[in-house]
Structure 1
Amino acid sequence: MNTEETPTPAAPEASAFGAFALAPTLLAGLAEMGFTEPTAVQALVLPAVLDGQDVAGQAPTGSGKTAAYGLAVLQQLDTTVQGTQAIVLVPARELVLQVQGALKQLGKHLPNLRVAAYYGGHAMREEVKSMQQAPHVVVATPGRLLDHLERRTIIPNQLKVLVMDEADKLLELGFQEEIATIISRLPRRRQTLLFSATMPDKVLALVRANLTRPRVMNAGGANASTLPASLTLKGHVVGAADQKPAALFQLVTQPAAGRCLVFANTRDRVEELTRFLRGRGVLAEALHGKMLQPERDKSLMKLRNGSATVMVATDVAARGLDVTELDTVIQYDAPEQADTFQHRAGRTARAGAAGTAHLLVTPPEQGKLQAWPAAASVQWAAMRPAKLPAAAPKAPRATTITLHISAGKREKISAHDLVGAFVSIGGLEREAVGRIEVFDHYSFVAVPEAQAEAVLDKMQGAKVKGKKVKVALIR
């Protein structure tokens, strides 16, 4: 099989999604999401995928590849038929939920569309219970999907499309055996799509083994040109590693820092830096693989709704992180590889928004990074961080407070139901009810800090859609 890269075809002449002959229901979903012009990867990939070809696409983080394969997958579905027709494999739980949400939005006008999310750390019995009606699309981590295939709770005999997203990370995390076993249990007659930010030999081997006459398309590789033009890269060189904490504090407390994502290489470092920042009055949250899913959901919700301003995370936990308007990325620990540097930096300046990615390095670390083409545009400067105050300041009060509600999707509670309850019972104006996220058995609602205690008192023992709920403040 020849998997040599094919010449990049010209983008379609038309400048809108109508050029791809997508179903009117999908065009309606795109319009509601505000998408009028395809991104480079969408213009490149969609014609081949819609034509039924296998595709291996190289595309950087934030390039719009989820919609590129998502539209093609949804176009092929027959939602009048029971059975799983598409499977999307991704490396992390957060990415499972992000892709599921994107597919639901794109396909919101497809009648009876069912898109399921399956991942480790989520109760298997809940997932099995949800399969009384087979999902049309399954988005899953490899380990959990393999569990379902072995239990025969998912029977893929009607599968049309397999997507392997973030393939380089899937292999980096050691999912080779699971992927091979999964593919051996799928129908041979199917379309297979693979997307990866980089195309090392191990990814190309995966392409050769599992894709049929694939079109290998490059919408941006691991080099400086793939990073958004709206992204500013700044490198700060400190004299020694023990100066990094003070430098980090200085960066996250700058007025322009906004909402920050800080990368550390280990779970212990994540916890250490989170404690350090909190002790200095910074509204910081941790995110790493050892945390239980409800804890991860809570941390992410607080960052999204403004109850926290800094998230300290490992690379795996931050993969697929769904936080809009992320202003600043700080790489506290130097990345081991160039593609890791690019994935981290690409978490900000998405969809044309401005953003800044900082690196904190010692001179030896700087020497290593300067050899990477991906870091060619970094603006390097020496940094002497200001001395930390002797006593930690009083922690600032968040402008938004997050409340936990003891009911969710399984209790038939929707965001609309919660808005109604917080207005009619909690006494809030409709515009004052902030971000709402509804999970299986609990929900989060953001409310103004000044009104949080009063709302909490009023909502105690309240009924939402006829069900009595408990409401608690998230600390």
Structure 2
Amino acid sequence: MTATPAPAPTFADLGLVPVLLQALDELQFAAPTPVQAQVLPLALDGQDVAGQAPTGSGKTAAYGLAVLQQVDVQQDAVQIIVLVPARELALQVRDALKKLGKYLPNLRVAAFYGGHAFREERASLQQAPHVVVATPGRLLDHFERRTIVPNQLKSLVLDEADKLLELGFQDELVEIVKRLPRRRQTLLFSATMSEKVVELIRKNLTRPRVVNAGEDTAELPENLTLLGHVGTAEQKPAALYHLLQRPETGRALVFCNTRERCQELTRFLQGRGIAAETLHGKMPQPERDKALLKLRNGSSQVLVATDVAARGLDVTALDTVIQYDAPDKADSFQHRAGRTARAGAAGTAHLLATPKEQAHVQKWPVAETIKWQPVKASKLPAALPKAPRPENVTLHVSAGKKDKVSAHDLVGAFVNVGGVAREQVGHIEVFDYYSYVAVPRQQAQEVAERLAGAKVKGKKVRVSIVA
């Protein structure tokens, strides 16, 4: 007689409070993922946890629900710190925690990261956030200036610990931990458990419970086509240009290994009439926001980026990935390629490789699925026809979330004052201190002039065309 398997646990079974269950129900989280089912009982019990969990396993909710249940919203102090390797991930985690904690009254969650003026963050700290999501360098700045004092800290979360170490944040992590209360809970999550990550666990976690929800294998989507183009380094620019001229290439993300190569390649493409933007870790944050937005709203066709800058990118409907430089590791190759062909859509990932790079890539199992072909000897003519410019142009508006401005408010202003037909107002993104709105190219100048000095939610705004 076979035993009946125990039913899978529900979120209520795991001991979550009603306000968190209410948010989960609204977010349509039907049942815990394996990592959530393993982590939540341990973390809610106050134990330190070291978890190995791949991207997409639900680890943000696993630690997020556990730490949110600890927050005392009556206490005006930082109680939770989540450290992440990149600005984009900081924003994603902040937004996820806000949604999970939607019914915790007066919960304050803030994200802090480099790339913009420190004074902007200082202003938002007049009332201490309960939860801080931050990159290590910027958090250490706040500690040193005493704009964040962590003496009431309950839990520290190290998210994507392998990437924190890979990006060289070891020294910052040591300095941060020195300033935290010894009596605290520490939760660490990593896609891989390298020797450096194990050492980080040994030094910073107390009798940790180890949870393994699988290694991040960066599996590629089934509907992804992998193509390799083999030629000399000198042939790569022309090969890239001709790939981008194909109608089927559509919206493309081009990967380079260094920021210098990104800048050089972007200038090369722009000089040949292709609407290209660059993205790398040393760019000021508003410039990074602008580059991403222009790709999302159709104001540009191509984003040329480094791996660091492209972590956590939120770009839907990406048709093509082109790896201009071959990466050193197979998982980097797969993470890059997997930026396209998402959510059931088809996509193509190209690799431009020299024979030496090809030989390196062919050592990886993924190479079996790459269709290789030689680069055709096609020279770039001296005077190239200009590629058609994108139909949309992005306008910068000097008001954002901190001014209580929403996308709905901007649509109203652009229609009623700017004279744009409602259906022609394109993609809108609202940031803390500014917003971007896409409009048809032929109307952009007139719309900017009409909106000059207009008021949105009571604030007089400046509107300008984004170069």
What TM-score results when the alignment is normalised by the length of structure 2? 0.89
Report the equivalent of 2:166: 172
Report the equivalent of 2:125: 131
Report the equivalent of 2:375: 384
* 1:269-418 correspondence runs (5 A): 269-350=261-342, 354-373=346-365, 375=366, 378-385=369-376, 387=378, 390=381, 391-418=383-410
Report the equivalent of 1:203: 197
Q: Relative to 1, partners in 2 of residues 1:315 and 1:81: Cα closer, same or farther, differing over 3 Å? A: same
Q: Deviations over 1:202-243 (max 9, x none)?
A: 1111011112232333334254xx414446251414122222
Matched residue type, 2:280: H
Report the equivalent of 1:470: 462
Unaligned runs of 5+ in 1: 1-10
Following the alignment from structure 1 to structure 2, what is the Cα–Cα distance between the partners of residues 110 and 355?
41
Indicate if the aligned counterparts of 1:84 and 1:155 stay in contact, CA closer than 8 A.
yes
Q: CA RMSD in A?
A: 2.8
Matched residue type, 1:208: R
Give the CA deviation at 1:144.
1.3
Q: 2:102 aligns with which of 94, 108, 112?
A: 108
Q: Is 1:53 matched with 2:47?
A: yes
Paired residue secondary structure (2:277): strand
Q: Relative to 1, partners in 2 of residues 1:102 and 1:174: Cα closer, same or farther, differing over 3 Å? A: same
Q: Is 1:141 matched with 2:150?
A: no
Following the alignment from structure 1 to structure 2, what is the Cα–Cα distance between the partners of residues 28 and 242?
58
Report the equivalent of 1:184: 178
Give the CA deviation at 1:392.
2.4
Following the alignment from structure 1 to structure 2, what is the Cα–Cα distance between the partners of residues 450 and 286?
25
Give the paired residue count.
462
Q: Relative to 1, partners in 2 of residues 1:474 and 1:36: Cα closer, same or farther, differing over 3 Å? A: farther
Q: Relative to 1, partners in 2 of residues 1:394 and 1:414: Cα closer, same or farther, differing over 3 Å? A: same
* 1:257-276 correspondence runs (5 A): 257-276=249-268
Report the equivalent of 1:3: none
Paired residue secondary structure (1:132): coil
Matched residue type, 1:384: V
Q: Relative to 1, partners in 2 of residues 1:394 and 1:474: Cα closer, same or farther, differing over 3 Å? A: same
Q: Deviations over 1:389-435 (max 9, x none)?
A: 52322232323321101223444433333232223222334444333
- Decide which structure has the larger Cα Rg and report it: 2
Report the equivalent of 1:4: none
Give the CA deviation at 1:127.
1.6
**Further displaced range: 136-145 or 427-436:** 427-436
Indicate if the aligned counterparts of 1:404 and 1:471 stay in contact, CA closer than 8 A.
yes
Q: Relative to 1, partners in 2 of residues 1:34 and 1:252: Cα closer, same or farther, differing over 3 Å? A: farther
Q: Deviations over 1:150-185 (max 9, x none)?
A: 222212222222111221221122211110111122
Indicate if the aligned counterparts of 1:231 and 1:348 stay in contact, CA closer than 8 A.
no
What's the % identity of the aligned pairs? 67
Q: Relative to 1, partners in 2 of residues 1:467 and 1:278: Cα closer, same or farther, differing over 3 Å? A: same
Between the two structures, name the one with larger relative contact order (CA 8 Å, sep ≥ 6). Answer: 1
Q: Deviations over 1:304-350 (max 9, x none)?
A: 22212221111111122222333332221111233433432343345
Report the equivalent of 1:153: 147
Following the alignment from structure 2 to structure 1, what is the Cα–Cα distance between the partners of residues 36 and 287?
35
Q: Relative to 1, partners in 2 of residues 1:264 and 1:40: Cα closer, same or farther, differing over 3 Å? A: farther
Following the alignment from structure 2 to structure 1, what is the Cα–Cα distance between the partners of residues 440 and 332?
37
**Further displaced range: 287-296 or 272-281:** 272-281
Following the alignment from structure 2 to structure 1, what is the Cα–Cα distance between the partners of residues 244 and 23?
37
Q: Is 1:97 matched with 2:91?
A: yes
Unaligned runs of 5+ in 2: none
